[in-house]
Amino acid sequence: MQIVVHRSAAQIGGNVVEVRSRNTRVILDAGRELPPLDGSRRADRMEVEGLTFGKRAFDAVFLSHHHGDHCGLLDRLLPDIPVYAGRRTSHVLDVIADFTGGAKRRTRPLEADTVRVGDLTVTPISVEHSSHEAFMFLIQDEGRDERKRGKSVLYTGDYRNVDGAVERLRERVGAEGLDLLITEGTNVAVESPLFRDEDAVAAAAEKLMAECGGTVFVLCSSTNEPRVRALHAACARAGRTPCHDLFMSAVRSLLAPADPQPPMRFVAGRVAPERPEKFSHFKAFYDRRQLVGAERLAKRPERLTVFVRTSMFPRFEGGSSFMTRFLRERGGEGHALIYSLWGGYKRTEPMRSVLAFCAERGIPITDIHSSGHASNEAIRNFVAEAAPRALIPIHCAPEDRERFRALHENCILLRDGEAWAVE
């Protein structure tokens, strides 16, 4: 068995990892690069022969979760390559396609305990991440003959909590153990995060929502269902009404259909290149008797918590936007904004524009965020429990790669495109 990290050996995001046996080649995640921090727009030029161009050379692609840095190249894959994903991941990808007007890619559900592809067996193992659904993948081959056992490789995808994962891993690999662990290391330099879990996020958000005299705005990922659920709980305890735009409403209807606190729905400008009622996931919400715009929402008497995105803020001085119109009607005093995203986004041009908008209007910004990625402590504990014979780190900053040498004596630091044989 061979491993090729086509991309993400020394960067966060853009995962494309190949596992190759004698007769079979599979890809684990097909992610695009994260956007540049300088706000520039550049095309993702990732190309792999037999995967994105030329004659098909891969037997399957497995997606760990729906984040763009793990599935953003989906529309670039050759059309005859089977793609496996969880049902919720597929649902979210369909909503995103509707929202952007993009093409939808048919996927095969990860329903069974294992998926057999050629002489490889792929077992999805559920883990906690900043998404409603995320998997590790255990890949095992048949071995060369009866006298020599097959190899076992665990690819983590992204994870924060691995409760139950080690037990299921041991059930599958038995006494022979794990040959190779390919693990993400986004936060390998972070020992103790300020907010360790969603309960801590909810408690801090509740306190701010209870004390704030005006509207509370929240910047968070619409597809981070654990985060949205935690903030909904904070709204309920603080006596606030959550407000979602159509995109968040469509996502949440799929991930949390039995919402105990239905949100107020609003329109914040252009929803899709065409009218949203033409798109399947928005039809249920596109009723103007129920939807409100910025001005009508601002006139509501309730204590509101409004979930916003960067596109709802003006990018240029004097530009009209949802936030401009809302604050013009509601008044600009006493409001607050909860920033519940990765801190690195603050260095991007769109987010700097958001921060400047809030500063000019005296809206204080409070960071209340729990990363969806494991801390150094969690990674260290997981490596020790999994006890692999070798370790390959990916999905981490270049300056953090050496930290993994302290976690495992057989740490392999690959370069993008470099092959390594599992011994």
Q: pLDDT of 344-385, one tens digit each?
A: 888 888 899 999 999 999 999 999 999 999 999 999 999 999
Return mean pLDDT, the chain: 89
DSSP class per residue in 227-253? HHHHHHHHHHHHT-EEEEEHHHHHHHH
DSSP class per residue in 42-65? -------BTTTBSS---SEEE-S-
The average pLDDT across 288-308 equals 89
Query: Are 363 and 376 contained in the same domain?
Result: no
Query: Are 163 and 20 contained in the same domain?
Result: yes
Q: Kindly list the distances between the CA atom of residue 333 and the CA atoms of 86, 295, 359, in Å, as whole numbers in the listed order.
A: 44, 16, 12
Q: Which domain holds residue 229?
A: 198-367
pLDDT of 315 reads: 75
Q: CA angle, corner 139, sides to 135 and 145, nearest 5?
A: 165
* Domain end point (choices 349, 367, 385): 367
Question: Are 257 and 249 in contact, with CB atoms under 8 Å apart?
Answer: no
Question: Are 397 and 12 in contact, with CB atoms under 8 Å apart?
Answer: yes
CA dihedral 51, 144, 112, 225 (to 10 degrees): -50
Angle between helix 246-255 and helix 87-100 axes, rounded to 10 deg: 160
pLDDT of 364 reads: 97
The average pLDDT across 175-193 equals 91
Question: Are 248 and 372 in contact, with CB atoms under 8 Å apart?
Answer: no
* Domain end point (choices 346, 367, 388): 367
Query: Are 144 and 235 contained in the same domain?
Result: no
Instruction: Looking at 121-181, list the stretches that DSSP marks H as alpha helix, in order from N- to C-terminal side.
Output: 165-173
- Structure-block tokens of residue 176: 């022979």
Q: What share of the chain has pLDDT > 90, as a percent?
A: 65
Q: How far apart are CA 277 and CA 404, in angstroms?
A: 50
Query: Are 33 and 136 contained in the same domain?
Result: yes
More confident residue, 157 or 288: 157
More confident residue, 241 or 34: 241
Q: What are phi and psi of 16, to 5 degrees?
A: -145, 105
Query: What are the E-state strand segments in 71-199?
Result: 83-85, 108-109, 115-117, 120-126, 135-141, 152-155, 180-184
The average pLDDT across 133-144 equals 88
Query: Are 264 and 298 contained in the same domain?
Result: yes
Lowest mean pLDDT among 108-117, 230-239, 248-257, 394-403: 248-257
Mapped onto helix, strand or coil, the DSSP state of residue 394 is strand
pLDDT of 278 reads: 60
- What CATH number is given to the structural domain containing 176? 3.60.15.10
Mapped onto helix, strand or coil, the DSSP state of residue 337 is strand
pLDDT of 64 reads: 97
pLDDT greater than 80 at residue 172? yes
pLDDT of 44 reads: 79
Q: How far apart are CA 292 and CA 288, in angstroms?
A: 7
The average pLDDT across 301-312 equals 94
Note the pLDDT tens digit of each residue in 24-34. 999 999 999 98
Query: Are 7 and 134 contained in the same domain?
Result: yes
Single-letter amino acid, residue 359:
A
Query: Are 10 and 98 contained in the same domain?
Result: yes
Confidence of residue 276 (pLDDT cuts 50, 70, 90): low
Residue-wise burial string across 335-364, b where 16 or more C-beta atoms lie within 10 A, e elsewhere: bbbbbbbbeebeebeebebbeebbeeeebe
Domain count, the chain: 2
More confident residue, 374 or 331: 374
Query: Are 45 and 152 contained in the same domain?
Result: yes
Query: Are 331 and 271 contained in the same domain?
Result: yes
- What CATH number is given to the structural domain containing 338? 3.40.50.10710
pLDDT greater than 50 at residue 135? yes
**227: nearest Cα among 130, 297, 307:** 130
The average pLDDT across 225-252 equals 93
Confidence of residue 272 (pLDDT cuts 50, 70, 90): very low
pLDDT of 271 reads: 45
Query: Are 346 and 221 contained in the same domain?
Result: yes
Residue-wise burial string across 226-262, b where 16 or more C-beta atoms lie within 10 A, e elsewhere: bbbbbbbbbbbebebbbbbbbbbbbbbbbbeeebeee
Query: Are 360 and 409 contained in the same domain?
Result: no
pLDDT of 313 reads: 92
The average pLDDT across 260-274 equals 69
- Structure-block tokens of residue 50: 């037999």
pLDDT of 288 reads: 65
- Structure-block tokens of residue 298: 């601002």
Lowest mean pLDDT among 74-78, 342-346, 388-392: 342-346
More confident residue, 323 or 150: 323
- Structure-block tokens of residue 357: 């908008």
pLDDT of 19 reads: 98
Confidence of residue 273 (pLDDT cuts 50, 70, 90): very low
The average pLDDT across 115-128 equals 94
Confidence of residue 150 (pLDDT cuts 50, 70, 90): confident
pLDDT greater than 70 at residue 145? no
**How big is the chain by its Cα radius of gyration, in Å?**
23
pLDDT of 277 reads: 58
**181: nearest Cα among 420, 13, 359:** 420
The average pLDDT across 2-28 equals 96
Query: Are 382 and 360 contained in the same domain?
Result: no
pLDDT greater than 80 at residue 101? no
Q: How many CB atoms lie within 10 A of CB 161?
A: 15
Q: How far apart are CA 257 and CA 249, in angstroms?
A: 10
Confidence of residue 37 (pLDDT cuts 50, 70, 90): low
Question: Are 372 and 342 in contact, with CB atoms under 8 Å apart?
Answer: no
